Amino acid sequence: MHVPLISVIDGNAANRAKVADVLMSMYRVNQYPDAERGWHGLRVAPPRVVLIDDEIPPHGGFALVNQMRLEPVLANVAVVIVTRHDKEEIAQTLEQCGAKACLSKPYGRNHLIQTISSLINQEVEAQWNDLEEPSRLALRGTVKIFNDISESIAAGEPVPFISVKDACAPLVDAIGTNDVRDILDGVKEHDNYSYAHSLRVATLLSLFGHTLGLPREDLMMLASGGLLHDVGKVAIPHEVLNKPGRLTDPEFEVMKGHVTETLRYLDAGNAIPKPVRIVAAQHHEKLDGTGYPHGLHKGELNELARMASIADVFSALTDRRVYKPAMEAEKALTLMTEQMIHHLDQHLVRLFRTMLLDAVHT
């Protein structure tokens, strides 16, 4: 997968550096100090999104946006205007130049990231309209409920499990007809990494269950468990969750806390089935007892957890992050077989490999 390129055009060097520092944990970033260098840079390397300060020299940001709209290679680039004005004050100008969003100074890190991510995802999600059912319904339904879950957690409300299960029904339908490629391909470029990873785990886990001959209701539990298994990551600081490279020991302790947080959010509701909770609680446990959070050993690990850990590891290895390319599926499976022999159930890993060869890569 291609890591999105974001361009920042701002005459204030300190502002440019601050914005770039925030974005570089998730994207590639180009910086330009004025409209002239920005114009030439954009044409050479068109970004997915460009942030333009409305006061950049020599004629301001809106003049540059109007110039971009006349250049075919830049006409459809998503523009975010950064301004000291309220959005309402410049609403007409924003509409006339076709800017997709506006950031009014001062703005926070989260607002910046959410604005850019939302613009990228609008483009990705629009492509889902061309897919056939049930893949289109699976993608549309799961991204909506995933966003709803984040809002529920922020509001202190319980996870709406019935809605989660309903959203996963088209996913299970797609698996029943061996039609999962569109789902896995459709989520590849999605900019919400937590959603993309969780949907991949939900898809792989329920496909795994289908391969093992489990009934539909069990597949619904696997899909729902996969979608919910990492919801506690909303409590992990951005700088830890998206840190390029290896975490320090203290940072890893913080990261491990996402399992506890996930269970806390799930336990706030009254309708979370036991299989879903097991997937969330045990997907980081390992057969040799070196996993977390409880260091469970072979006989203590539920088979659902063994399946979930395989789907989670495979997805993590083959996910794209800004600091690493997506690993090829065959290389990931080889690593899981040769280097994780004491961590993962190798009998299930072999079945998982066969499943992927039959259902995804043929």
Among 56-65, 70-79, 123-132, 319-328, the least confident range: 319-328
Please tell me whether residues 105 and 145 are part of one structural domain: no
Q: What pLDDT is attached to residue 5?
A: 95
Token pair, residue 169, equals 């029904």
Confirm whether pTM is higher than 0.85.
yes
Please tell me whether residues 141 and 172 are part of one structural domain: yes
Please tell me whether residues 57 and 173 are part of one structural domain: no
Please tell me whether residues 220 and 274 are part of one structural domain: yes
Q: What pLDDT is attached to residue 362?
A: 46
Q: What pLDDT is attached to residue 324?
A: 72
Please tell me whether residues 286 and 234 are part of one structural domain: yes
Last residue of a domain, one of 121, 147, 163: 121
**Is the pLDDT reported for residue 350 higher than 90?**
yes
d(CA 113, CA 76): 20
Please tell me whether residues 350 and 246 are part of one structural domain: yes
Q: Considering the domain boundaries, does residue 345 fall inside one?
A: yes
Q: Calculate what percentage of the chain has a pLDDT beyond 90.
A: 82
Please tell me whether residues 217 and 334 are part of one structural domain: yes
Q: Considering the domain boundaries, does residue 126 fall inside one?
A: no
Grouping H, G, I as helix, E, B as strand and the rest as coil, residue 350 is: helix
Token pair, residue 346, equals 């190798």
Q: Calculate what percentage of the chain has a pLDDT beyond 70.
A: 98
Please tell me whether residues 206 and 328 are part of one structural domain: yes
Q: What is the CATH number of the domain that holds 251?
A: 1.10.3210.10
d(CA 337, CA 173): 30
Token pair, residue 146, equals 């995933």
Please tell me whether residues 111 and 141 are part of one structural domain: no
Q: What pLDDT is attached to residue 23?
A: 92
Q: Considering the domain boundaries, does residue 232 fall inside one?
A: yes
Please tell me whether residues 109 and 217 are part of one structural domain: no
Please tell me whether residues 201 and 157 are part of one structural domain: yes
Domain of residue 297 covers 131-359
pLDDT band at 178 (very low <50, low <70, confident <90, very high): confident
Last residue of a domain, one of 121, 150, 181: 121
| Structural domains counted in the chain | 2
Please tell me whether residues 116 and 242 are part of one structural domain: no
Last residue of a domain, one of 121, 142, 177: 121
Q: CA end-to-end span of the chain, whole Å?
A: 20
